[in-house]
Structure 1
Amino acid sequence: MGKIKALFKSKLTKWLAMACGGVVLFFLLLYGGVYVGVFGKLPSKEALGALKQEKATQVLDKNGTLIGKYYIYDRQPLAYKAFPKHLIDALIATEDVRFYEHNGIDGKSLLRVFFKNILMGDASAGGGSTITLQLAKNLYGRQQYALFGVLINKFKEAAVARRLEAVYSKKELLTLYLNTVPFPDNTYGIESASQKFFNKTASALTVSEAATLIGTLKANSYYNPRKYLKRSEARRNVVLDQMVNYSFMDKAEAEKIKQDSLTLDYHSFNHDVGLAPYFRAQVKKEVSQILKDHKKPNGNRYDLYRDGLVIHTTLDATMQQYAEAAMREHLKALQKRYEASYGEAAPWQNKDFLIQTLKKTPAFRQLKSKGLSDAAVMDTLAIKRELNVFNWDETPTQSMSVIDSLSHYLKFLNTGMLSVEPATGAIRTYIGGVDYRYFKYDHVSQSQRQVGSTFKPFVYTSAIESGIKPCKYYTLEAITYTNYDNWKPTNSGEAPENAKHLNYSLEKALSQSVNTIAVKVLHDVGISKVIAQAQKMGLKTELPAEPSLALGTAEITIKELAGAYASFVNESRPVTPYMISKIEDQRGDEIVAFKPEINQEKAFTDYTRQVMMQFMQATVNSGTAHRLQSVYGLQNAIAGKTGTTQDNKDGWFVGITPNLVAVTWVGNDDYNIGFKTTGLGQGANSALPIFAKFYQKLNRDSAFNAITRAAFETPDKDVLNDLDCQPEKEDGFFKRLFKSNKKTKEFKAN
């Protein structure tokens, strides 16, 4: 019996030994196959030593603040010296406490995992992965294999980890790891994560913030602090405990940090959201064109998304925040009044109008191209589904059909706002629309709209340049111009009973934006001279040679208008608004730099400039823009001009201060829909409040005293003398007696 047992034990022992040997041999063969490249070539030490990480291109404001990125992977590599010590401590304590002791593979951890996790089923034993192994995975990812995929990938990572340890120092490995490891929200590297979740560079992370980000590495979706703040906070506390356990920090300090709630300062650098998305989109367009003419030293083209360029812009991030806040505050309130003014008679609810508009859409045309009848197309487009749509009340998801969606979007007012430094043309704020996610069309750079009365300063500038005195009087009386289809320009509101005999000086005519006088001034100066003057002031758009030009029927971009108006506070010289100051490569070497484009030739005399500034200050002090003072309480040195186009389609305001010129437009993207009333749609009500609220915010920030406390130049004595007259006067008895009653005339083009 004993012999049988001994024989059995001997065979079992041999069988077990053979099985174990076979398993070991299998692992060795599999590892050998991985090592020699049977499952894909492993990177050589030379390749590992020349690792080139793709790096996001950064967009900086004028003060070096990060405002955006262009990337495939959201990554901004840092040098080791930029990492705070507590960040490294948190990483080591949580992910690989024996990091400085092993050569890429931690044998003790693997044994622990084998016995506790595999044999005893203790999931808390961890996975045995070192920082170097994780780095290998981060750098090269994992591939899919039909059999033994997990083992093959693990062996590949182990081989790469050993080679990484042979090529790099421990500090260099930590640097590579922290610059490549994935964090929540598709973010790669600690710097990008720090900027996104805490709006600061990684070097400025507190212990709490560093522990939070390191804590997300366990499962970056599950512990995403943006989505699961309390869960992330609990994970942060685990990291702090680990730091205490391994003597990286004092327990009392850790407990004190745990008492503080986790606070985020989240800044998304997604192309569609965040600060100044329209500006960043335009910068990308311009940089893409610029880089076509510049190549790397090796002759290759720059890659905007991978080469880690640094784009320095002229934008002021704080001013942009104020401008966007002002826009949202006003437009949200104006939209409610706009919709209420139409009531049930709103054009976006009119069936015939909707059908006509719908037939112009790509969705309708695509279905028609398939041979469907109009009725069948309408039935298809009437099917409801869940859609993300824009709303000021921030309820984006609604059940809507395509027809519903069209009606929904037709009702919204949109806007464009640009402010520039008049001495250089540097763009300080840029708002292309109400929300880039839903309205991609840029009203600053792309849109050309009729500018209304904001064109009148060009007419009056030409008049003063032509020798017409500021105190020349014009009657308010409306005249019919027979050679232009009996066109009869009129003024807004009811005409005074004595309009035929009431005369305004040029200053009052402009400050009150009197249409009838603007056309008469254009007649006296000549259309061709006014057009030439506007071109000297920087307008490149072709202007219509019609009498209605005086009332702003020309369609001009906000950019052009801003550059031209800058001449009034830039020694009579227009500027070209620009947004990029320089572009650098990732080493900080300059690729290209840009200087302001300022017209060296004056567009008009100093006398004209000073007269026009008095005219436009009167617009604010007592004219159509007086609500800047009466409603919004602004007592700054401000000049300006309001503008409203025919049928209240566009509202404009141009605000001029000594060191900032801002242009604001408000209207509906569909030109068939205007404001219901002039009271609501006039520039003083629709566009001016954005500037006013913006300037209120600047006034409250002492950092902008150089803008808000600046004063206009003092006019020369001859200017003040020529302006010293009554703003209005009535015709005397004899002039009334002999004044012609003829209310028609021909308009002379020149």
Structure 2
Amino acid sequence: MNEKKIIKSLWIFFIGGLITIATYLFSVQVDFYHLYGGMPSTDVLENPQSELASELYTADGMLLGKYFDFRNNRSPITYEEIAPSMIHALIASEDCRFEQHAGIDLRGLTRAFFISILLQQNKGGGSTLTQQLAKNLFNIRKELNYKGKCSHIPLLNKLIFKTKEWLLAVQLERAYTKQEIIVMYLNTVTFGSNTYGIKVAARTFFNTKPIALRVEEAALLVGMLRAPTRYSPLIHPENAKHIRNIVLSLMVKNNFLKKSEYNLISEMPIELHYQEENYQQGIAPYFRAAARDFLLKWTQANGYDLFADGLRIYTTIDSRVQTHAEAALKEHMALLQGTFDEHWKNSNPWIDENGKEMDNYIETEIKKTKLYKKLLEKYGEDIEAIDTELHTAIPVELFSWQGPIKTIMSPFEKFKQHRRILQAGCMAMDPHTGHIKAWVGGINFAHFQYDHIKKSKRQAGSTFKPIVYTVALDNGYLPTDKVVDEPVPFLQYDGKIWTAQNAWKAYTRKKITLRYAMAKSYNSVTCYLVKQLTPKLVATYAQNMGIKGPLEAVPSIGLGSSDVSIYEMVGAYSTFLNKGVWTEPFFITHITDKQGNILQSFIPQTYEAIHEDTADLMTYMLKGSLDEGALRGVSSALKDNNEIAGKSGTTSNHSDGWFIGLTQGLCTGVWVGGEDRCIHFRDFELGQGAVTARPIWEKFILKLYNDPDTVYQKGPLVDPSIPLSEKVKNIIQTKKNYDVQPASDTSVNTSRDSNHTKKAVIEELDINNIF
């Protein structure tokens, strides 16, 4: 064969090879006869869908938390938000020719072919950053719509998948700039420890932002990309330091770092500020859980994925108010728990109505837990096996106010120990807008996840009484009206007589004003009003003021015998500061998609529940507690040059302590009690709401006043231009001039133009002598 024939054959072979390769690439691109499987469309390439965690923000712009399954725990950032050292480390380590190639690095492929394949030396592959990005964005190896008839053939399927990655890399290079590719890559990679994206990784490992990453931190994160578990600084710190220094040396080799800097940095130990993200960390964990329940329903109804669509949820919570509320609750509950433990000492606090310890209480209650249900699934009806596992000692973590206690104990004993812990809840709301500013659903979310704001409903005790007085004032009574403190018998449906006693088990038989009676929490006067107005009318008003749960229209309704939530009670009391208009408590203002487009804005339900004059009179009535009632013992720092109002409540066996407090621009509700109603103090002095719940409110409000960054300061409760006392005098004088008629027992006067009526002829005092 002569030279010309050889050259001709080579050219034919070369051109034929090019045609074959081009034909093959084209056939893969168009999925010829569905042999190879589809490719991402142009639209998908230009707008790749990266699954993102949804983020929850406070009203003051703080990231409150995220909703994600771990694969979606990522937050996108821009190129300008990434430290140059991070970009330099990435290019030096993963793709030193990144700026020169167009998606495929032929030199790198050749090196990978000869060294890694032919010589069987594992010196790394030839994939560029763009190819790796293609893998991250489009899972062509697993998704069915990217597989064809040849995808099941060994070796051939690998060639097809690799070809698609090459094609996608080239297309990505055409669609995006180099900077955009770097950003997309760092937003999609995983760094281990359930962290996806550079923003989450920087926060998780170093508690910083990507722009603030130091050279050694950036080198470590880039090194971890090669094998997140093997090079994890948490699991293998020596391996992590080794790979960090390799990346640093590559930065020197590629002129991103000076040799002198390398010598210094390479000797430095790894310093972590590790904090893995989860639902329990940070402020407002109970609120985040409550918001999650709402958002799951909303996303399902509106066709979104809370854990993958990168939604932005903006809430009404104020991070500063929330922080102060949590701190106040923890401070007081730690002290109260000490008192409770000393009160019961070695005795168990679960007692019956006769004050005796309840037999088999723990054995009965533990059967209601998730743990017991899991054991039932595991062992079926083998009660002995279940009992054995419940009483087998294992490593456990107990809650204590001094910090978690790790010990060896059986699940049964752990459950018993935790049942001795007092619980609490606190919610603060702007009465004018309905915005919930603080939501503290319990004492510790890690150990006690049941939310005591909205889910928990307990008897309200005397905090329900203001609703009875509201009905009275809205139907013609005045704060100055007097009623005799004496027994008020009710004939019940069963023919028996029920008569409520005052908390102090006695009656003065004297006439007292309604304002004084409410401040001192006279049961007799409350029952008198319930009897005159009827339980049905009281229940109707309560429901109109936001108590949406079932209410029994029975004689004891006015004493708080029905179960209510903090959420409902705060909404009801807020009506007093909002001119009689009930505003639904709510906690989300709007939701946007990841581009910032508003998907839905939320506006609370509002309506006039009581007359404006009634609201002012009730606010004035509640101020009476400052002089004679639950507020009498508050610190001068809180009441000096300030208007405050409120009402405490305690159930008959001291199992529930309540306090609802009003300050300028804020209505706050607090509940304290045991996990179960049978867990409580044995006497009223220790268990009353003024002792168990009110101090939390007091500490909370003082913290707000002492914080210059909050808007909550001392001031009048209602209209600053007219003192409340003057306004009340004018209202009372106007009402005295009405020519009134008796009202129907079942009517609800809510019209601002209607004449309010009185139910009985009662001796009245001079309006300047309130008591």
TM class, shorter-length:
0.7 to 0.9
CA distance in 2 between partners of 1:710 and 1:94 (Å): 62
Correspondence for 1:588: 596
Deviates further, 514-523 or 182-191? 514-523
Closer, same or farther in 2 for the Cα pair 1:292/1:156, shift >3 Å?
closer
Structure 1: runs of 5 or more not aligned: 1-24, 295-300, 725-747
CA distance in 2 between partners of 1:111 and 1:402 (Å): 61
Q: Secondary structure at the match of 2:502?
A: coil
Quote how far apart the aligned CAs of 1:450 are.
Answer: 0.9
Closer, same or farther in 2 for the Cα pair 1:412/1:45, shift >3 Å?
same
Quote how far apart the aligned CAs of 1:456 are.
Answer: 1.0
Correspondence for 2:329: 327
CA distance in 2 between partners of 1:693 and 1:716 (Å): 27
Quote how far apart the aligned CAs of 1:575 are.
Answer: 0.7
CA distance in 1 between partners of 2:604 and 2:217 (Å): 41
Correspondence for 1:675: 681
Question: In structure 1, which of residues 46, 49, 54 is the aligned counterpart of residue 51 of structure 2?
Answer: 54
Q: For residues 323-373 of structure 1, what are the alpha-carbon distances to aligned partners after superposition, in whole Å with 9 as ceiling and x for unaligned?
A: 223223332332232233222221469662223334555766787897857
Quote how far apart the aligned CAs of 1:645 are.
Answer: 1.1
Q: Secondary structure at the match of 1:329?
A: helix
CA distance in 2 between partners of 1:227 and 1:634 (Å): 57
Quote how far apart the aligned CAs of 1:193 are.
Answer: 3.1
Closer, same or farther in 2 for the Cα pair 1:104/1:476, shift >3 Å?
same
Q: For residues 366-410 of structure 1, what are the alpha-carbon distances to aligned partners after superposition, in whole Å with 9 as ceiling and x for unaligned?
A: 878978576665345323333455444443654333422331332
Quote how far apart the aligned CAs of 1:452 are.
Answer: 1.0
Closer, same or farther in 2 for the Cα pair 1:259/1:457, shift >3 Å?
farther
Correspondence for 1:77: 76
CA distance in 2 between partners of 1:411 and 1:555 (Å): 22
Q: Is the CA contact 1:639–1:655 (under 8 Å) kept in the aligned structure 2?
A: yes
Q: Is the CA contact 1:347–1:353 (under 8 Å) kept in the aligned structure 2?
A: no
Closer, same or farther in 2 for the Cα pair 1:52/1:357, shift >3 Å?
closer
Closer, same or farther in 2 for the Cα pair 1:677/1:194, shift >3 Å?
farther
Q: Is the CA contact 2:579–2:616 (under 8 Å) kept in the aligned structure 1?
A: no
**Aligned letter for 1:341?**
H
Q: Secondary structure at the match of 2:546?
A: coil
Q: For residues 567-618 of structure 1, what are the alpha-carbon distances to aligned partners after superposition, in whole Å with 9 as ceiling and x for unaligned?
A: 111112111011121122222222221123221x351232x32332222223
Matched, 1:384 2:390: no
CA distance in 2 between partners of 1:48 and 1:623 (Å): 69
CA distance in 1 between partners of 2:176 and 2:165 (Å): 16
Correspondence for 1:736: none
CA distance in 2 between partners of 1:692 and 1:254 (Å): 56
Question: In structure 1, which of residues 413, 431, 443 is the aligned counterpart of residue 422 of structure 2?
Answer: 413
Question: In structure 1, which of residues 681, 694, 708 is the aligned counterpart of residue 700 of structure 2?
Answer: 694
Quote how far apart the aligned CAs of 1:655 are.
Answer: 1.6
Quote how far apart the aligned CAs of 1:284 are.
Answer: 2.8
CA distance in 2 between partners of 1:675 and 1:150 (Å): 72
Correspondence for 1:281: 289
Question: In structure 2, which of residues 474, 480, 502 is the aligned counterpart of residue 491 of structure 1?
Answer: 502
CA distance in 1 between partners of 2:328 and 2:35 (Å): 59
Correspondence for 1:422: 431
CA distance in 1 between partners of 2:269 and 2:642 (Å): 42
Aligned positions of 1:426-505 closer than 5 A: 426-478=435-487, 481=490, 485-493=496-504, 499-505=507-513
Q: For residues 610-639 of structure 1, what are the alpha-carbon distances to aligned partners after superposition, in whole Å with 9 as ceiling and x for unaligned?
A: 332222223245521334326978875322
**Aligned letter for 2:96?**
V
Q: Secondary structure at the match of 2:345?
A: helix
Q: Secondary structure at the match of 1:344?
A: coil
Q: Secondary structure at the match of 1:416?
A: strand
Q: Is the CA contact 2:474–2:610 (under 8 Å) kept in the aligned structure 1?
A: no
**Aligned letter for 1:62?**
A
Question: In structure 1, which of residues 540, 543, 546 is the aligned counterpart of residue 554 of structure 2?
Answer: 546
Quote how far apart the aligned CAs of 1:500 are.
Answer: 2.5
CA distance in 2 between partners of 1:166 and 1:697 (Å): 57
CA distance in 2 between partners of 1:149 and 1:619 (Å): 84
Q: For residues 275-302 of structure 1, what are the alpha-carbon distances to aligned partners after superposition, in whole Å with 9 as ceiling and x for unaligned?
A: 32332233233233334554xxxxxx32
Closer, same or farther in 2 for the Cα pair 1:90/1:435, shift >3 Å?
same
Structure 2: runs of 5 or more not aligned: 1-16, 143-151, 351-356, 734-759, 761-771
Quote how far apart the aligned CAs of 1:677 are.
Answer: 3.1
Matched, 1:660 2:666: yes
TM-score normalised by length of structure 2 = 0.75
Quote how far apart the aligned CAs of 1:223 are.
Answer: 6.1
Over aligned residues, Cα RMSD in angstroms?
A: 4.5
Question: In structure 2, which of residues 598, 602, 617 is the aligned counterpart of residue 611 of structure 1?
Answer: 617
Quote how far apart the aligned CAs of 1:457 are.
Answer: 0.9
TM-score normalised by length of structure 1 = 0.77
CA distance in 1 between partners of 2:156 and 2:401 (Å): 50
Q: Is the CA contact 2:583–2:605 (under 8 Å) kept in the aligned structure 1?
A: yes
CA distance in 1 between partners of 2:80 and 2:338 (Å): 53
Correspondence for 2:712: 707
Aligned positions of 1:164-243 closer than 5 A: 164-165=172-173, 168-194=176-202, 196=204, 202=210, 213-214=221-222, 216-221=224-229
Correspondence for 2:526: 518
Closer, same or farther in 2 for the Cα pair 1:538/1:106, shift >3 Å?
same
Closer, same or farther in 2 for the Cα pair 1:584/1:426, shift >3 Å?
same
CA distance in 2 between partners of 1:394 and 1:118 (Å): 56
CA distance in 2 between partners of 1:210 and 1:710 (Å): 52
Closer, same or farther in 2 for the Cα pair 1:150/1:407, shift >3 Å?
farther
Quote how far apart the aligned CAs of 1:177 are.
Answer: 0.4
CA distance in 2 between partners of 1:304 and 1:354 (Å): 38
Closer, same or farther in 2 for the Cα pair 1:471/1:441, shift >3 Å?
same
CA distance in 2 between partners of 1:290 and 1:320 (Å): 25
**Residues matched between the structures, number:** 684
Quote how far apart the aligned CAs of 1:423 are.
Answer: 0.8
Correspondence for 1:572: 580
CA distance in 1 between partners of 2:206 and 2:643 (Å): 38
Closer, same or farther in 2 for the Cα pair 1:229/1:633, shift >3 Å?
farther
Q: Is the CA contact 1:45–1:163 (under 8 Å) kept in the aligned structure 2?
A: no
Correspondence for 1:623: 629
Question: In structure 2, which of residues 336, 339, 352 is the aligned counterpart of residue 337 of structure 1?
Answer: 339
Deviates further, 339-348 or 556-565? 339-348
**Aligned letter for 2:431?**
P
Q: Is the CA contact 2:426–2:453 (under 8 Å) kept in the aligned structure 1?
A: yes
Q: Is the CA contact 1:61–1:313 (under 8 Å) kept in the aligned structure 2?
A: yes
CA distance in 2 between partners of 1:39 and 1:392 (Å): 65
Closer, same or farther in 2 for the Cα pair 1:371/1:71, shift >3 Å?
closer
Quote how far apart the aligned CAs of 1:451 are.
Answer: 0.9
Deviates further, 198-207 or 316-325? 198-207
**Aligned letter for 1:603?**
I
Correspondence for 1:68: 65
Aligned positions of 1:26-41 closer than 5 A: none
Q: Secondary structure at the match of 1:564?
A: helix
Q: Is the CA contact 1:653–1:663 (under 8 Å) kept in the aligned structure 2?
A: yes
Matched, 1:642 2:648: yes
Q: Is the CA contact 1:424–1:598 (under 8 Å) kept in the aligned structure 2?
A: no
Quote how far apart the aligned CAs of 1:109 are.
Answer: 6.3
Quote how far apart the aligned CAs of 1:449 are.
Answer: 1.3
Q: Is the CA contact 1:422–1:563 (under 8 Å) kept in the aligned structure 2?
A: yes
